[in-house]
């Protein structure tokens, strides 16, 4: 039976619950334990798949096709444990399940209420897989006191009460604001946050206090006294230069020891932190620097491309190189020549996205990279834009474009070299979709196999000819244009096993120009950089040495 750690937040949002959860998971692994991390989100969307990146950051996709919160990306990057559909739940999903059961008659005519029906549904979710690992870490989104989060907090209260004593603990993150006028840290917001928790029947065992200033011993003692926790369980959390410093910083602050003490695990196994010491050594002692332009459409919010930014950092670690990623709004290139913006970069990355806005700028970026022989990595929409660019400027299809843009505009304007994917093979069955299907969960989602061409650049990068990568798209490059494009030097070097869906394209007469239909950034980790990102950064390093 797994031990449960519930991670909650108070005072304000965005304190770093996800990062603290991921770092704690990594520290428990370092002590020899197995872990799984989960996210419980109070919003009423069934999942974040239909949310704008400006609203919620990137959507992290799991192998089994769940569209989840970006915190699951942190969990995977820090622990290496692949997330599953059962590791992410929202209020919307919970209520949807309850209402489906009510319509089927599962409740035998009873009045459906938040307690016990909604809370039971949450508890059933929490129990999934609790015999598989030593520790289950469950992060609750939002802050204590949020009205939409109350069913989750009540379910946790019941869950802790129903399990054997000592099998569950609560870790609460709060903020210690600093008042410059009086020159002191204020503990009152933390006290009020804990009081709010206590009012709903929950009491923290460990307090993690975010602060921009050192927390004196007397303040820790005061917090411990007023919040009814041991002083050793009041853990300071300061701002870090890099998120990958978090496991070592939290260990130095005593977080993992406080958690194990709360469970009564003594003596605890000693941690082996060699993995994280190596990660920090690679980050702190680079032997060079490269500048990589990310030409995207959600550049105002870097969380929209969180996994890409982290994967580039991992690629830098693999090459002991500092990657300076700079975000450029693709729409600028629809009005201006991209050359002055891109000429000082060593590589160009065009990420995924939805909709027509900014796509002509992405096409110009792909053309610039192809003609100037600058390393180019196109991901999902970034691959499709590279194919459209080649179709226009190499094949001569001047109106080449995507069906996605025609659907959005409600009129036919383009020769669709990228079309709406209506049918594909998933496992041993065929999936069928229509353009007017509901948006939620209707894309080609999750892990699919691809076969790579012998002798191709990507086969060399991966070191194999069979790969498995995660997808999230509903539009696909049309195989009917393959012969024309390949005659002009754009090789289809990766295909689905049935040979119908292009997975990878590469320009043959180019040092490094690769477009992939999937999202390799989702599987990259600091201690296991994704091969595409590692080689992309290597190619950028070569360019930097030539300049």
CA-nearest of 547, 525, 546, 530 to 25 is 525
| Catalytic residue, candidates 310, 389, 403, 521 | 521
Q: Is 17 annotated as a binding residue?
A: yes
Q: Is 384 annotated as a binding residue?
A: yes
**Token pair recorded at residue 272:** 């082996």
Backbone torsion region of residue 441, taken as left when φ is above 0, otherwise alpha when ψ lies between -120 and 50, otherwise beta: left
Q: Is 404 annotated as a binding residue?
A: yes
Q: Is 147 annotated as a binding residue?
A: yes
Q: Is 111 annotated as a binding residue?
A: no
CB-count burial class (<10 Å; 0-12, 13-18, 19+) for 213? middle
C-alpha 334 chain-centroid distance: 29
| Catalytic residue, candidates 251, 314, 346, 519 | 519
- Three-state DSSP at 488 gives coil
Q: Is 148 annotated as a binding residue?
A: yes
Q: Is 176 annotated as a binding residue?
A: no
Q: Is 377 annotated as a binding residue?
A: no
| Catalytic residue, candidates 117, 380, 389, 403 | 380
The total of other beta-carbon atoms located within 10 Å of residue 291's CB is 16
Q: Is 151 annotated as a binding residue?
A: no
Q: Is 489 annotated as a binding residue?
A: no
Angle between helices 255-262 and 246-253 in degrees, nearest 10: 60
CA-nearest of 454, 461, 477, 446 to 538 is 461
**Token pair recorded at residue 279:** 């990660």
Q: Is 439 annotated as a binding residue?
A: no
Q: Is 29 annotated as a binding residue?
A: no
Separation in Å, CA 229 to CA 141, 203, 249, 258, 259: 23, 9, 21, 11, 12
Q: Is 167 annotated as a binding residue?
A: no
- Whether 519 is catalytic: yes
**Token pair recorded at residue 87:** 């590791």
Q: Is 496 annotated as a binding residue?
A: no
Q: Is 329 annotated as a binding residue?
A: no
Q: Is 474 annotated as a binding residue?
A: yes
Strand 475-477 vs strand 415-420: parallel, antiparallel, or unpaired? antiparallel
CB-count burial class (<10 Å; 0-12, 13-18, 19+) for 263? middle
- Three-state DSSP at 539 gives helix
Sequence ranges of the binding site for CTP? 13, 146-148, 186-191, 222
Sequence ranges of the binding site for L-glutamine? 353, 381-384, 404, 474
Sequence ranges of the binding site for Mg(2+)? 71, 139
Sequence ranges of the binding site for ATP? 14-19, 71, 240
Sequence ranges of the binding site for UTP? 13, 186-191, 222
Sequence ranges of the binding site? 13-19, 71, 139, 146-148, 186-191, 222, 240, 353, 381-384, 404, 474
Q: Which residues are catalytic?
A: 380, 519, 521
């Amino acid at each position: 039976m797994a031990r449960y750690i519930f991670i909650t937040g108070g005072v304000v949002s965005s304190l770093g619950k996800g990062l603290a959860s991921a770092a704690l998971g990594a520290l428990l692994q370092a002590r020899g334990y197995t872990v799984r991390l989960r996210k419980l989100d109070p919003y009423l969307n069934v999942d974040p798949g239909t949310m704008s990146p400006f609203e919620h950051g990137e959507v992290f996709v799991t192998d089994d096709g769940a569209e989840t919160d970006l915190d699951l990306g942190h969990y995977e990057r820090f622990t290496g444990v692949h997330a599953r559909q059962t590791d992410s739940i929202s209020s919307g999903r919970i209520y949807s399940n309850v209402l489906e059961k009510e319509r089927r008659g599962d409740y035998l005519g009873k009045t459906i209420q938040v307690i016990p029906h909604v809370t039971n549904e949450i508890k059933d979710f929490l129990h999934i897989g609790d015999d598989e690992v030593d520790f289950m870490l469950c992060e609750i989104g939002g802050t204590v006191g949020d009205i939409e989060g109350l069913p989750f907090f009540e379910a946790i209260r019941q869950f802790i009460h129903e399990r054997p004593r000592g099998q569950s603990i609560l870790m609460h993150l709060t903020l210690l604001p600093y008042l410059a006028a009086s020159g002191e840290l204020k503990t009152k917001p933390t006290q009020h946050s804990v009081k709010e928790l206590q009012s709903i029947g929950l009491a923290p065992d460990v307090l993690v206090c975010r602060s921009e200033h050192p927390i004196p011993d007397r303040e820790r003692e005061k917090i411990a006294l007023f919040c009814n926790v041991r002083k050793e369980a009041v853990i300071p959390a300061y701002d870090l230069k890099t998120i990958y410093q978090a496991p070592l910083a939290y260990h130095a602050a005593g977080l993992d020891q406080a958690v194990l003490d709360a469970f009564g695990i003594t003596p605890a196994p000693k941690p082996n932190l060699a993995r994280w010491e190596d990660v920090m050594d690679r980050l702190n002692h680079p032997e060079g620097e490269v500048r990589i332009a990310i030409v995207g459409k959600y550049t105002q919010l870097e969380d929209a491309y969180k996994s890409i930014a982290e994967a580039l950092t991992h690629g830098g670690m693999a090459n002991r190189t500092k990657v300076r990623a700079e975000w450029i709004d693709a729409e600028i290139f629809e009005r201006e020549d991209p050359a002055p913006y891109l000429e000082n970069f060593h590589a160009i990355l065009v990420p995924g996205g939805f909709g027509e806005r900014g796509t002509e700028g992405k096409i110009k970026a792909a053309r610039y990279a192809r003609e100037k022989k600058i390393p180019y990595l196109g991901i999902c929409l970034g691959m499709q834009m590279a194919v459209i660019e080649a179709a226009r400027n190499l094949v001569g299809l001047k109106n080449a474009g995507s069906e996605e843009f025609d659907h959005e505009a409600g009129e036919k304007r383009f020769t669709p070299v990228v079309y709406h994917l209506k049918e594909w093979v998933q496992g041993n069955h065929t999936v069928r979709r229509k353009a007017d299907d509901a948006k939620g969960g209707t894309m080609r989602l999750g892990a699919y196999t691809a076969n790579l061409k012998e002798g191709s650049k990507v086969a060399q990068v991966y070191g194999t000819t069979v790969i498995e990568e995660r997808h999230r798209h509903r539009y696909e490059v049309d195989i009917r244009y393959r012969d024309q494009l390949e005659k002009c030097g754009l090789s289809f070097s990766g295909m689905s096993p049935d040979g119908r869906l292009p997975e990878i394209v590469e320009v043959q007469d180019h040092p490094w120009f690769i477009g992939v239909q999937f999202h390799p950034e989702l599987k990259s980790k600091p201690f296991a950089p994704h091969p595409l990102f590692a080689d992309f950064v290597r190619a950028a390093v070569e360019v930097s040495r030539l300049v």
